[in-house]
Amino acid sequence: MERHIPVSKPIMGEEELSRVIEVLKSGWLVHGPVVEEFEEEFASYIGVNHAYAVFNGTAALDLALKALGIGPGDEVIVPDFTFIATANVVLMQGAKPIFADVEDETLTINPDDVADKISGRTRAIIAVHLYGHPADMKALMEIAEDHHIYVVEDAAQAHGAEINGRRVGGIGHVAAFSFYATKNMTTGEGGMITTNDPGIAYRVKMWRDHGQDSRYHHVMLGGNYRMTALQAAIGVAQLRKLDSFNEARRRNAEKLSEGLRSIGGLRLPVEKPGYKHVWHQYVVRVEEGFPVGRDELARLLSERGVGTAVHYPLPIHMQPLYRSLGYPPNMCPVASEAARRVLSLPVHPALSPNDVKYIVDTMKDIASGRI
């Protein structure tokens, strides 16, 4: 059989199957006890007082901003290098995303650039824990405190990641997680909002369900952002496996780094001291010294059955949507350079030791011109 190593792969087992069958047999398919069980276990895992499940990660970010009261005339500082949802949810509130560049080392938002971009209209900063490596929350929380603004954690890629033993999702004022199929744990589509702030928690809960404080009694604006019991059933089972999934990712990342270290022109990802990386993606940067360019490397790997992806091919401000809104080109040089160089290699828990060895050997063959 021909070898094919996908760049990501959800892992489902008997636990997920039996929990979903239980829900189907119970006849209670919508928000209810299973969603509440998932929320309680997730809150306890992250170490926060409140967790609210919603239908996807974009909805989680949207509700987080709504709960902070972000609206027209407000500015929110976001990293220029992230998945588009991080910036789009700001536009969705009628507010203005202000792009900050990213740190060269981790490609997470650069606090110095954030500090430079604060204005009288700034209401919040969104810190993305990109690829599973936490952003510099200490510096960001200090800036936020100085300016009386909020920090929203976009933890869509970082379930279980830590800074000095504290899990992300419980460090900022409010956080959003995604359980999309490629994430470290999945419910197919799904999301969660976490917070310790009772006021934010109340507004999230109300917004999620048509602003009703009791059945058919609506005290504020809201929508339907609810998660189904089927999603939550998968989530409960996946959450119990999250630590073992993350350990497998960490082992795979270590083996990849060990194998790839000697290759010239290839910049490897790092884990900063005090930070726990959960390797949602293992992202190398293809530098000038490498014999082929990033896109050619991806093509050669694909021909040999190794799936890769580019997270992300453009900094957000260069996306046609943002250019059409008048953002000038080349605002954030580190993000622009990263977009030209990054390539995500498979690191997911379904990789066998042989798969990892094959990826390393294939990379070495390409680097030495044997392919």
Ligand X SMILES: Cc1ncc(COP(=O)(O)O)c(C=O)c1O
Instruction: Name which of 82 and 110 has its Cβ closer to ligand X.
Output: 82
CB of 83 to ligand X, least distance (A): 4
CB of 327 to ligand X, least distance (A): 19
Q: Which one, of 8, 350, 356, 22, lies nearest residue 178 by Cα?
A: 8
- Strands of 7-142 (E only): list them: 50-54, 75-79, 96-100, 122-128
Strand order in the sheet with 166-167: 166-167, 162-163, 275-276
CB of 185 to ligand X, least distance (A): 12
CB of 133 to ligand X, least distance (A): 12
Place of tokens 């000697």: 262
Strand-pair partners of 98: 77
CB of 154 to ligand X, least distance (A): 5
Which helix H or strand E contains 342, and what residues bound it?
strand 342-345
Pairwise CA distance, residues 214 & 208, whole Å = 13
CB of 177 to ligand X, least distance (A): 8
CB of 208 to ligand X, least distance (A): 15
| Rounded (5°) CA angle 75-171-183 | 85
CB of 217 to ligand X, least distance (A): 30
Pairwise CA distance, residues 325 & 91, whole Å = 11
Instruction: Name which of 107 and 233 has its Cβ closer to ligand X.
Output: 107
| Rounded (5°) CA angle 203-133-320 | 70
Instruction: Name which of 154 and 271 has its Cβ closer to ligand X.
Output: 154
* Residue of minimal Cβ distance to ligand X: 57
Size of the chain, expressed as the number of residues it contains? 371
Pairwise CA distance, residues 8 & 85, whole Å = 20
Residues sharing a CB contact under 8 Å with residue 332, sequence separation 6 or more, in sequence order: 80, 81, 99, 100, 101, 102, 113, 315, 317
Instruction: Name which of 143 and 152 has its Cβ closer to ligand X.
Output: 152
Instruction: Name which of 61 and 175 has its Cβ closer to ligand X.
Output: 61
Instruction: Name which of 184 and 252 has its Cβ closer to ligand X.
Output: 184
Instruction: Name which of 132 and 346 has its Cβ closer to ligand X.
Output: 132
CB of 155 to ligand X, least distance (A): 8
Strand-pair partners of 101: none
Instruction: Name which of 314 and 356 has its Cβ closer to ligand X.
Output: 314
Strand order in the sheet with 50-54: 50-54, 191-195, 174-178, 150-154, 122-128, 75-79, 96-100
Q: Which one, of 356, 337, 252, 254, lies nearest residue 294 by Cα?
A: 337
Instruction: Name which of 61 and 284 has its Cβ closer to ligand X.
Output: 61
- Residues engaged in binding ligand X (CB under 6 A): 56-58, 61, 82-83, 85-86, 128, 154, 156-157, 178, 180, 191
